[in-house]
Structure 1
Amino acid sequence: MPHEDVLSELIAAESPLEWAFDNLIHVRSGTAAAIFDHPFDPGLVLRLSDYPDGWFRYADETRRMQQEDGIAQPFRPTVHWMADVAGTLVAVTERLEPLEDGTALSEAAEAAIQALSGDDERWTDVERHAPGFREFCADLADRLDLRPTNFLRRGNTLVFNDPYSAIPFALEQDLRERYRIAGSFPLLRSPAP
């Protein structure tokens, strides 16, 4: 099935999440979202959620920063495309890797969790392996989701992939309206999922 047909079918589905489970390879599910292999690009994944998953708020922030500044955000995931499809949030994002236990990056993530929980002395350990991570975290919203699984890696770079557990009610409708699409693939052309 051609690339455009697969994504058009997802967008046209009555339930994009059910369609994805039936037609794509499920990688894993978290508390609020399911991750699927991108059908044609092994360097990408699709993230779908029928819950106000805070990752989409974070992805929206990331996309806005990249559009406004034109500067890559090394500690954030690269988000290629987002939409609200029939009440399901959908994104195409880079494939990140889990942190391996006992590595410098897993130690940096553990230290970051402790530092963000109030142990300021741990920032030294974070900065040793992820210079600039403290400054990056200072710009994040309050009430971070500090589960270890929310920290991933891109090569040797620590990525805080999912710091927000939900989209605040006051922000959810605006985000959904900005990304809402109808079921036609041409809306996806730029950037292509």
Structure 2
Amino acid sequence: MQSFGRRPNGTAKMPHEEVLSELISAECPIEWAFANLTHVDSGTAASIFDHPNEPGLVLRVSDYPDGWFRYADETLSLDVEEANRCSFRPVVHWMGDIDGILVAVTERLEPIDSGTPLATAVEAAMAALSGDEERWLDVERDAPGFRAFCSKLAGRLDLRPTNFLRRGDQLVFNDPYSAIPFAMEDSLRERYRIGGNAPTRKLPSP
């Protein structure tokens, strides 16, 4: 094995890396995950599985240029101090590209219940990010600092309610990008590639 993906800057080898060795060596990591791990949920671009040994973690697996992995790359590129201050991002523990299959280990987050202050903040944030500037007042009441955080995100944002999750009472914008841009995909995958040949690129659906 040439490398073991990437971990947050400054961290030591993670104990779950040995656990994931079977997934990494599998002929098809997605099929292996469905056969050997507990499936939590699937969306349009990725499937989520329970981590086999760490209840506070999940695995995200995708054979698509899932924009979440672009976001994870940004997160992993932050230095440790900056990452610790960025509570609106998910905590990413590890990420790799296994012969064209993107895999990450990330913290387990919870859905936001309707009727809660965070649900109100998400509704207001989606409106504000769509151009209703007055709604930022409602966002900042329940999620102070979220406007400044969003101003640093790149490109067009995917504003579906399911892309917002929570860590306790903390709002987390878990999945703001719908896809990895075509011009960025090869270099991103190369940074995280674990052995094997370069994958055949799967184009995003229109």
> What TM-score comes out, normalization by structure 2 length?
0.84
Percent identity of equivalent pairs: 73
Of 31, 39, 52, which aligns to 1:18?
31
Of 176, 181, 185, which aligns to 1:163?
176
Unaligned runs of 5+ in 1: 184-193
Cα distance in 2 for residues equivalent to 1:98 and 1:42: 16
1:73 equivalent in structure 2? 86
Of 15, 20, 36, which aligns to 1:7?
20
2:188 equivalent in structure 1? 175
Query: Amino acid of the residue matched to residue 154 of structure 1?
Result: R
Q: What is the number of equivalent residue pairs in this alignment?
A: 182
Q: What SS does the aligned partner of 1:136 have? A: helix
Deviations 1:69-106 (A, max 9, x none): 45431000000000001110000000000000000001
Structure 1 pair 152/87, CA: closer, same or farther in 2 (3 Å)? Answer: same
Query: Shift of the alpha carbon at 1:141?
Result: 1.1
Q: State yes or no: 1:137 paired with 2:147.
A: no
Q: Where does structure 1 differ by over 2 angstroms across 4 or more consecutive aligned residues?
A: 3-6, 66-72
**Kept in 2: contact 1:16–1:86 (CA 8 A):** no
Q: State yes or no: 1:84 paired with 2:97.
A: yes
1:42 equivalent in structure 2? 55
Query: Shift of the alpha carbon at 1:29?
Result: 0.5
Query: Amino acid of the residue matched to residue 114 of structure 1?
Result: A
2:159 equivalent in structure 1? 146
Structure 1 pair 7/141, CA: closer, same or farther in 2 (3 Å)? Answer: same
**Kept in 2: contact 1:84–1:181 (CA 8 A):** yes
Cα distance in 1 for residues equivalent to 2:22 and 2:78: 30
Unaligned runs of 5+ in 2: 1-15, 197-206
**Kept in 2: contact 1:97–1:153 (CA 8 A):** yes
Q: What SS does the aligned partner of 1:82 have? A: strand
**Kept in 2: contact 1:65–1:71 (CA 8 A):** no
Cα distance in 1 for residues equivalent to 2:53 and 2:68: 23
Cα distance in 2 for residues equivalent to 1:70 and 1:165: 22
Cα distance in 2 for residues equivalent to 1:169 and 1:25: 32
Deviations 1:146-182 (A, max 9, x none): 0000000001110000000000011110110000013
Query: Amino acid of the residue matched to residue 28 of structure 1?
Result: D
> What TM-score comes out, normalization by structure 1 length?
0.90
CA RMSD of aligned residues (A): 1.7
